[in-house]
């Protein structure tokens, strides 16, 4: 995928924070991961604004429409198929689904019977619908991982997936401009060889 407008340093910061907190504080890890993902899909929405506006007919597409737009794009779908092949272990992560939307009194994703689901058995859309609902429930205070084992399990599973997904997404996104005049530029990037 190509995303020239992405602030790669900001994205790396949030991904690093998510990875660093994965074991000690999975809720913090998931929230940091979602911030990185939000920066990614928000930037994608701006960079491909004309296509987004044709797709949604909404002059001010909000958060959910932005990540839904990313999900349906051919380049993301191609990327995600490759991710599933590169990271089969992370797709063995289990999620206790469906997740309840307290605001709308609906179950997300629709049509799933209560149970534990491997991410590998879900579509990309079902995965991200679930993660978005977990995010909403945490951000809007209707879930408490400090008092509920189920809520902690959801946040932990979501954080585990996001940490791997976001790092892989970064490695498979081109468009970063490197400053050849910055003497410290090489120290900012992980060694690949």
CA dist., res. 127 & res. 97, Å (int):
10
Is residue 189, in this structure, part of any structural domain at all? no
Is residue 157, in this structure, part of any structural domain at all? yes
Q: Rounded to the nearest 10 degrees, how much is the dihedral formed by the CA atoms of 135, 76, 17, 60?
A: -50
Is residue 187, in this structure, part of any structural domain at all? no
Say what the pLDDT of residue 193 is.
Answer: 39
Question: What's this model's pTM, rounded to 2 decimal places?
Answer: 0.88
Question: How would residue 98 be classed by pLDDT, with cut points 50, 70 and 90?
Answer: very high
Is residue 90, in this structure, part of any structural domain at all? yes
pLDDT in tens, 10-33: 999 999 999 999 999 999 999 999
Residues 6+ apart with CB under 8 A from 68: none
Q: What is the residue range of 51's domain?
A: 8-177
- Residue 98 preceded by cis peptide, ω within 30: yes
Nearest to 162 by CA among 2, 27, 7: 27
Is residue 65, in this structure, part of any structural domain at all? yes
Is residue 22, in this structure, part of any structural domain at all? yes
Our count of domains for the chain comes to 1
Query: Does residue 146 surpass a pLDDT of 90?
Result: no
Is residue 1, in this structure, part of any structural domain at all? no
Describe the chain by its helix, strand, coil percentages, rounded to 5: 60, 10, 30
Say what the pLDDT of residue 192 is.
Answer: 45
Ramachandran category for residue 98: left, alpha or beta (phi over 0 → left; psi -120 to 50 → alpha)? beta
Is residue 117, in this structure, part of any structural domain at all? yes
């Amino acid at each position: 995928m190509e995303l020239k407008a992405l602030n790669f340093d900001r994205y790396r910061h949030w991904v690093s924070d998510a990875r660093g907190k994965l074991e000690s504080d999975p809720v913090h890890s998931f929230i940091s991961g979602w911030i990185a993902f939000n920066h990614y899909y928000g930037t994608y929405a701006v960079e491909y604004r004309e296509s987004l506006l044709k797709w949604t007919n909404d002059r001010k597409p909000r958060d959910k429409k932005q990540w839904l737009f990313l999900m349906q794009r051919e380049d993301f779908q191609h990327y995600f198929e490759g991710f599933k092949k590169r990271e089969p272990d992370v797709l063995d992560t289990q999620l206790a689904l469906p997740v309840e939307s307290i605001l709308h009194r609906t179950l997300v994703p629709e049509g799933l019977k209560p149970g534990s689901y491997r991410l590998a058995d879900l579509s990309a859309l079902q995965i991200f619908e679930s993660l978005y609902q977990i995010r909403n429930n945490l951000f809007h205070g209707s879930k408490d991982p400090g008092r509920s084992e189920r809520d902690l399990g959801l946040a932990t599973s979501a954080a585990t997936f996001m940490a791997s997904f976001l790092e892989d997404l970064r490695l498979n996104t081109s468009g970063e401009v490197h400053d050849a005049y910055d003497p410290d530029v090489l120290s900012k990037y992980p060694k690949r060889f």
